[in-house]
Amino acid sequence: MVSTRQLEGKVSSAIRWSAVNSLLQRLAAVGFSILLARLIAPEQFGVFAVALVVLNIVLSVSELGVSAALVRTNDPVEKMAPTVTTLSLASGTLLALICVIGAPWFSNAMDTPEATGVIQLMSVALVIAGATAVPGAMMQRNFRQDHKFYADTAAFVCGTAVAVVLAFMGFGAWSLAWQRIVQNLAAAIIMFWLTKDRFRPGWDPVQARALLAFGLPLAGSSLLIFGVMNVDYIVVGSLLGTVPLGFYLLAFNLASWPVSAFSAPVRSVSLAAFSKVREDPELFQKSFGRALGLLALVTVPACVLLAALAEPLIRVVYGERWAPAAAALAMLVLLGAVRVALELGYDYLASAGRSRAILVIHLVWLGALVPLLALGAKLDGIRGVAVAHVIVAVLLIAPAYLIAFKPYGVRAGALGARLLRPFLGGVLMVAVVLAVRSLIDGELLQILVGGTLSCLAYVLVVFPMRHEILGVLRKRADA
């Protein structure tokens, strides 16, 4: 039995590896997106966005949610893993065939018929995802984020090289599609090479029933999560057109940077870590608040900077032709900050076996979101869509998670205490940035001066919480 101290050491080591991975990947991705934004026209990004919608829909359910059972269980996985392998491969292959056949229909429905071939090419990623579901789950279960770092780095290098070459040759949206396939292949090769636990496909009816009982609600929730995070693309594309969709895609991707860079390292270990301590009610109760406080401490300043400096950032970094994307960026950044907390809550409930509660929450989320997105698009374009997103997440879904947390003793007051200093620091940052923007005209100077002074102000407010970060950085994996 792993002691609490050993578990903390493993979790801390995994978070460090994942943090390095996420930060490097996001910084590299931002630079890469800047280059491609200057090589590929906005309407081509819109074509790729349509194909990406289809791929993400099916990826969200491609392994039926069963791989999470490998991460969650505290029992040996030898009996379960072969059945998980079979289910993942079969579902990924079937969904890929459905995508190939259904691509023309979906492209025409989105009024973007040129996306048909791109969708069909990207469906290959579903087969790869099914094959790598078990190795990926074992990495997460064993806190081997160092192995994931190697796989992601290889994927980024190979995919970027392919995309840049094809973009220079004028392949437009196809450049991004081939990048995705090459990335997945490269990551799969590294994952299989580094994972010692190898499981061939097998079938155990008892295991299959248990896996599907747990996994299908999670798969349904994943599909709904995809809907929540991507139905806006459908609304924008259908009601506003391909060019606004390209602007919105850029803004959403940029706004997701804090989620990917800071939330991803914690989420990479949160399901496994919560599962390890769920037998201890007191420790399980405290674990969510501690993780949320740590996330808020590093996420708030990044979100505030992106939101408060949205317009000058877009103009300086991406160019004048992408300036309309700034209209949605500030609100989408706020959505990203809320997502950090909600996604952590997802992992907490999943570790407790509450997959059906997660499903219900996301059914409510998607049902409330769709009409408000359409209304927002009609009233205020892409900015209205972003506002609708935030309203539903803050006023409806956050309270729903708090209700689901009650059986475990997690209370809003305790979480608020954890978030107080980061919140106050964020408010001060906004005030500093607004003051700088009112006094300085140059956009680049606004970014440099406003960013520097607001970060210093934030540090002054949260300095007493420095031990939260230092504690994670100092713990050793072999502690």
Measuring CA to CA, which residue among 136, 154, 134 is closest to residue 145?
136
Hey, CA dihedral for 51, 53, 57, 62, is it positive or negative?
A: positive
pTM: 0.72
Does the pLDDT value for residue 2 go beyond 60?
no
Each residue of 219-266: pLDDT tens digit?
777 778 777 877 888 888 888 887 888 888 888 888 887 777 777 777
Q: At 453, which amino acid appears? A: L
Neighbours of 165 (CB within 10 A): 12
Q: How far is CA 283 from CA 278, 353, 397, 401, 472, in A?
A: 8, 17, 25, 19, 17
Query: Rounded distance, CA 68 to CA 76, Å?
Result: 14
φ, ψ (nearest 5 deg) of residue 297: -60, -40
Contact 49, 188 (CB under 8 A): no
Does the pLDDT value for residue 382 go beyond 70?
yes
Token code pair at residue 142: 């064993």
DSSP secondary structure string for all residues of 430-461: HHHHHHHHHH---HHHHHHHHHHHHHHHHHHH
Measuring CA to CA, which residue among 275, 219, 224 is closest to residue 64?
219
DSSP secondary structure string for all residues of 381-393: HHHHHHHHHHHHI
Each residue of 293-338: pLDDT tens digit?
888 888 899 888 888 888 888 888 887 888 888 888 889 998 988 9
Query: Rounded distance, CA 157 to CA 261, Å?
Result: 18
Each residue of 183-207: pLDDT tens digit?
888 988 888 888 877 788 888 888 8
Measuring CA to CA, which residue among 186, 241, 201, 231 is closest to residue 45?
241
Each residue of 61-114: pLDDT tens digit?
666 667 777 777 767 777 888 888 888 888 888 888 888 888 888 777 766 777
